[in-house]
Amino acid sequence: MRKKNGVNIMLFVIIIILIGILSCSKSPKNQTEGILLQTDRDFSAKSVNEGRHKTFLYYIADDGAIFRTLSLNVRGR
């Protein structure tokens, strides 16, 4: 008894469609995204209260870098 190729192709197409539908479903909000947004809000509030320079010095990493277009780049604190 020989299997019909049309049935196999149709089954393959259905499986591909199901995989596509399942992969497009929304995933829950990433926790890292929420932390990043909160840090940005904190940065903004601190810069309003204490000034931009102090805020950058507070948040920049020890090995961080600030790249500027019309002046020298700054590395570290």
Per DSSP, the residues of 1-25 read ----HHHHHHHHHHHHHHHHHHHTS
Task: Provide the 8-state DSSP code for 71.
Answer: S
Measured between alpha carbons, how far is 76 from 66 in angstroms, rounded to an integer?
Answer: 8
User: Domain span at residue 29?
Assistant: 5-75
Global pTM exceeds 0.75? no
pLDDT for the residue numbered 36: 87
At residue 25 the predicted structure's pLDDT band, cuts being 50, 70 and 90, is low
Give the pLDDT confidence score for residue 3 in this predicted structure: 59
When pLDDT is averaged across residues 39-63 and rounded to a whole number, the result is: 89
Here the tokens at position 47 are 């810069």
Give the separation between CA 8 and CA 14, rounded to whole angstroms: 10
Distance CA 77, CA 67 (A): 13
Q: How many domains does the chain have?
A: 1
